A and B are shown apart, each in its own frame.
Chain A
Amino acid sequence: MLNITDVTHVYPNGVEALQRLTLRVVRSEITAVVGRSGCGKSTLLRIAAGLQSPQRGSITLNDAPVHGPTSDVSLMFQDAALLPWCTVRANIALPLDLQHRRDTGEVDYMIDLVGLREFAHALPSQISGGMAQRVALARALVLNPRLLLLDEPFGALDAFTRESLTQSVFDICRDAGATVMLVTHSIAEAVFLADRVVVLTPRPGRVAAEIAVGLPLRRTWDLQRSPEFAAIVGEVRDAMK
């Protein structure tokens, strides 16, 4: 579905973020990208979203070259990037608003999904960092995008919220057959969520390894205790060294 071929990206200040990176995101699969901090993961997502064009290489979405952002692709930013003067609800409704679509209950559904019903009318300054991330996640999901790009969606959450939200995102994406590329710092999360885990090298980012996760399609966190799970986590760990 998404093909990133031989992409090199150098920032104007001379920092080489990505080097000859080739990566394929398969339709209806969840691909997790892991790597050290600063290895170019966010850059990769921005390029995939069409927000940035690389110096070299090509990106195609469903065989059409990507030249700029499209409404089929949704990107959740690493920092929540909410509108400070809009309520939680208005922030989640923003994508529908900007595309002049009517809200047919999606917004309320998303608010419940991320567990923010009580805070629907709060402003971003009145909620915690983890809640803000959940708002950003809801905003990314509300349009039902064909390709969902998530930049550390669960970074600022406590362990329990993180587990339950990971589980619900996993279920939604599976149910909708969504295609997802997800950046995370947590190897366990990558293995739990993904069909494939892509390990990037430290800067400049290249693909160090691509590991297929042969776990069942339906997963719950109990899986974490299984030896198969531990084996894959070990494999990813080794690739990151």
Chain B
Amino acid sequence: MYVSDKSDKIEAQKRAGATNALLLRAAPLIGLVAFFVVWHLLSLRYPPFILPGPLVVAETFITRTTDGTLPLHIAVTAGEALPGLLLGTAAALLLGYPAAHSRFADRLISPLVIASQGVPLIAVAPLIFIWFGNGYGAKLLVCALIVFFPIVVNVTSGLRSVPPHLHDVFRMLGASRLDTFTRLELPAALPFIFAGLRTAGALSMIGALTGEFLSSNRGLGFLINQATGLYDTALVLAAIVSTIATALAIHAGIRGLEHAVVRGTNRGALS
């Protein structure tokens, strides 16, 4: 009796566990569906130029994708965000390395780094346009400025994360600075750097959009600005969806790169 009782319990637990797992899997979907249902119900109460429903937005998204409008503007914005991200990363590596190695450099740089996080981008971006003209380079700078902070913080803690014993191993073997960086510090810091990049990926889109809002005749920021002026709310929302999709694509790209790089280092690039 007791035994079967117990196995019944285990069965019940297993079933409960399976239901839980299913729920857990479905949760994101449930959330999204609920969001769209609420949106749809709300949109029934307003005219479309105030709040178009999800179906109208989807339709606009599809027609404006097939006629090439959205792809063009996405390409322009991504073409600013990605190089801006690269520029910010390069600057973060250049400043993070000395900061991780010398207390003097750290103390020299860190007030500026911390201040860079507090910079109100929307107020500084116009200044950048005044100083550097309102061309492509200024837009990259705006992107770089916004991605700089999360990356530099991660680069510095990543480089500092190397256990002292591993540094001793490299010292014992007379490793050069370059070898120590490429074979010890960089691989140890990579997970940190990628964590910073993932945050920075979405930020770089915000940077690019900010630049376009201020001055441009192409790009998602320009499109949103223009459509807002025309009360084409459906297009505004379609452009926002495009922005989110692009940010997610950048995120996924960084993830993919991370997996490839981590697998590469794990395979023992040394042997």
For the complex formed, measure the closest distance between the CB of A154 and the CB atoms of chain B, giving whole angstroms.
19
Cβ–Cβ contact B270 & A70, under 8 A: no
Cβ–Cβ contact B171 & A83, under 8 A: no
| Interface status of A235 (Cβ within 8 A of chain B) | no
Residues in chain A near residue B175, CB distance under 8 A: 98
| Interface status of B102 (Cβ within 8 A of chain A) | no
User: CB within 8 A of B166: which of A51, A83, A89, A99?
Assistant: A83
Within 8 A of B (CB), among A87-112: 87, 89-90, 93-95, 97-99
For the complex formed, measure the closest distance between the CB of A178 and the CB atoms of chain B, giving whole angstroms.
16
Cβ–Cβ contact A87 & B268, under 8 A: yes
Residues in chain B near residue A69, CB distance under 8 A: 171-174
Q: Which chain B residue lies CB-closest to A69?
A: B172
Cβ–Cβ contact A98 & B265, under 8 A: no
Interface size (A, Cβ < 8 Å)?
27
Interface size (B, Cβ < 8 Å)?
24
Q: Which chain B residue lies CB-closest to A89?
A: B271
A85→B162 CA distance, assembly (Å): 12
User: CB within 8 A of A98: which of B174, B267, B268?
Assistant: B174
| Interface status of B179 (Cβ within 8 A of chain A) | yes
Most buried by A among B174, B187, B262: B174
Question: Given A85-B265, A98-B179 in contact, is the A51-B168 Cβ separation under 8 Å?
Answer: yes
| Interface status of B255 (Cβ within 8 A of chain A) | no
Interface string of A56-100 (1 = CB under 8 A from B): 000000000000111101110101010101110110011101110
A94→B271 CA distance, assembly (Å): 8
Cβ–Cβ contact A98 & B165, under 8 A: no
Interface string of B150-183 (1 = CB under 8 A from A): 0000000000000101101111111100010001
Cβ–Cβ contact B174 & A71, under 8 A: yes
Cβ–Cβ contact B271 & A81, under 8 A: no
Cβ–Cβ contact B174 & A93, under 8 A: no
Question: Given A93-B271, A98-B179 in contact, is the A81-B173 Cβ separation under 8 Å?
Answer: no
The DSSP consensus for interface residues of chain A is loop
Residues in chain B near residue A81, CB distance under 8 A: 163, 165-166, 168-169
The DSSP consensus for interface residues of chain B is helix
User: CB within 8 A of A97: which of B165, B187, B270?
Assistant: B270
A85→B269 CA distance, assembly (Å): 9
Cβ–Cβ contact B265 & A73, under 8 A: no
Residues in chain A near residue B100, CB distance under 8 A: none
| Interface status of A49 (Cβ within 8 A of chain B) | yes
| Interface status of B184 (Cβ within 8 A of chain A) | yes
| Interface status of A123 (Cβ within 8 A of chain B) | yes
A70→B268 CA distance, assembly (Å): 26
Most buried by B among A73, A79, A85, A99: A85
For the complex formed, measure the closest distance between the CB of A73 and the CB atoms of chain B, giving whole angstroms.
7
For the complex formed, measure the closest distance between the CB of A189 and the CB atoms of chain B, giving whole angstroms.
23
| Interface status of B266 (Cβ within 8 A of chain A) | yes
Residues in chain B near residue A87, CB distance under 8 A: 266-268, 271
Of all A-B residue pairs in the complex, the 7 with the closest CB atoms, nearest first, are: A90-B268, A87-B268, A90-B270, A81-B165, A90-B271, A98-B173, A85-B265
Supplied contacts A75-B172, A86-B270, A93-B271, 12 more A-B pairs, CB within 8 Å: A46-B168, A51-B168, A69-B173, A71-B173, A77-B169, A81-B169, A83-B184, A83-B187, A87-B266, A90-B270, A93-B270, A98-B179
